[in-house]
Amino acid sequence: MSDVAERKALDLPTILDHAAALHAAHPSGPLPNGGQPYPDADHLASLPSAGTPYGDRKRLLVDLVRSVYHAVPSSTHAGKQLAEALASTHVDRRLAVRLSESVAHFDPSWRQQVGRELAYGGRERGTVSVGLALLTGVAEHNDAGPVRTLGLLCRPLGELAIRVLRGIPGAAGDLVWLAERSDPWRHAQAVEALCALAEPVTFGWLLKHGVRLDGPSITTAHRIAETVNIADQLAIDDINEDVVEQVGRVLLAMTQRAAGNAELRRYAAAQTALTRFAYAAPIMTATLDRLALIVGLLTDLDIGQAATLGWPRQELDRMRSALDHLLAQPAWVEVLETAVRSADPKIYHRAQWVVWARTTNRRPQPTGNTMDKATSRISIRVAVADPEYAGAVETRIFIDDRPIVVETFTAGPAEPPEYLLGVDHRLHADVEPHEVRLAEADCTEGCCGALYVTIQRRGDKVVWCDWRNPDTSDLTVPTFTFDAAQYDAEIARAESDHTWEWHERTVARLVRERLGEEPELLGRWDCHPGWMAAHPNDRGRIHVSYFYPRRPSAGEEPWLQFVAVLNVPAGQPAKVANDIVRALGDNDPRRQDRIAGGSQEAAQQLGFQWPPNRMQD
């Protein structure tokens, strides 16, 4: 570092002072905008672009720290030398997390002193990240205060701070403190750490606050259920109604496909917990939140993971009947009727979802037809999440009363109805066999697989065969044969049924259809339509994606993805969709503020600036 640069750096506050000052102004919750702007933003922007591949950058960082460790065994001088070397180095949180594993064998006292000097005195986030990496596993009780304060800068330092706190004996309370002030991702990481520690003093907090149904912490619901033992929580004689609700929320979180690999089925006590919840639910005072919670669990008992737990049919029917009976009681009916009349759009939409889910979205009833054992029956339902929370919209396929996709594939949600039941008619059966993807992993198919089936018409029968998952070679799903008349009628019914849609979802479907039918609308700008989205918990707008000047491919040609977030006014969906399409086609949609994907290099080649929020944190 030059003398001028060093003087400028010394004029900056330390990252710890920056976090502490923001916390003093905002003591109760997450820091505004995650603590940005960071004091080292100009310094970071002045560094050369980190174009080196990630693996090489990791190796260079480890070599740098290791060289200082061996060359300067005295921790008194090592901190300053390492800080000077790091000042001209790009270090992001991923590199620092990996670094903490590579320095685990270093002398603990060296790591403590150098780590504290860098973490608490550093003026660049990279330097502080390395300090926290050095402290991981060797920090002491007096480190908890400054470490949790640094963790308030969630994106660059939150994960590292959580890893340090997890290793400090008696710091569970500090993890709770940080979780309460963290963004959703770091909240989930803190909850995971608390479950690993499993300290009884935190169980009440985990049950009450560990799951946020609108965020990534639903992925920790299974760990919370096991750590707190939610089934036993419901067996207490004088159980509190709030505890019943909290256990219900953990159960509901495990039913969400976004929670990951069939979390409810992985929870050994799931049947016991659901049964005890069903019979404890009547002690709860009726509220809209609790009504929606019960309806969500009832829906899953009908067409979701809970229906696949191997229940005796009579026991499952009794439990559903108990919950249905509860919701028919006057207090619960009054809550729903009041919500349906509400002038608050969020309350009204949620009430409409409750009505739809209770009356329409139920499990297909067994036909009782035993004459043709060789012929199966197909039924289709659409699962829509509670609009209060983030959640997928899925096509649930039943074969002979079995939710076949939910049973067979656990790595992610079933495909949405727009994909399976839309204009491409993917579930139609033709003489020529064709393969259809029924579900895909949350990450991507290339990472954790997908579920495929081949569909073919053979005379008056339709056959589903050759099931496969690219991620596994031991998938065993039998071939199913359907009566073609029943199959065609059910597919036609499902394709024409849009009663599950809400206004924005209908508009998004119509926009998708229009852009697909008339590619020249975006083509005049060398753009190509991508996905369209309208989320249950994001009313009033849709997301429209498109690529320029080409879709992603295996080649090296540059491309960018744009996402337009567009307001959706009330009115006839067809007219609203036409207005949106016209606005997209009439005005250049390649707006700088809509860049959402591609690469920094592609942006430069195509004459755009890569968004600052996609740079290093």
pLDDT in tens, 127-149: 999 999 999 999 999 999 999 99
Top pLDDT among 213 and 419 is at 419
Helix (H, G, I), strand (E, B) or coil at 426: coil
Query: What is the arithmetic mean of pLDDT over 251-266?
Result: 76
Tracing tokens 């993971």 back to the chain, one arrives at 305
pLDDT band at 4 (very low <50, low <70, confident <90, very high): very low
- Taking alpha carbons only, the member of 220, 283, 293 closest to residue 252 is 293
pTM for this entry: 0.85
pLDDT for the residue 355 = 93
Top pLDDT among 159 and 304 is at 159
Q: Is the pLDDT of residue 495 over 90?
A: yes
Other C-beta atoms closer than 10 Å to the C-beta of 292 total 23
What is the rounded CA–CA span in Å between residue 279 and residue 203?
A: 23
- Ranking 425-429, 505-509, 523-527, 532-536 by mean pLDDT, the lowest is 532-536
Q: Is the pLDDT of residue 173 over 80?
A: yes
pLDDT in tens, 344-402: 989 999 999 999 998 876 777 665 554 457 899 999 999 888 988 877 889 999 999 88
Q: Is the pLDDT of residue 10 over 80?
A: no
Tracing tokens 């790009």 back to the chain, one arrives at 90
pLDDT band at 538 (very low <50, low <70, confident <90, very high): confident
Pairing of strands 450-458, 434-440: antiparallel
- Taking alpha carbons only, the member of 194, 262, 203 closest to residue 230 is 203
Q: Is the pLDDT of residue 19 over 60?
A: yes
- Taking alpha carbons only, the member of 154, 152, 150 closest to residue 127 is 150
Q: What average pLDDT is seen over the chain?
A: 90
pLDDT for the residue 487 = 97
pLDDT band at 536 (very low <50, low <70, confident <90, very high): confident
Structure tokens at 93: 């949180």
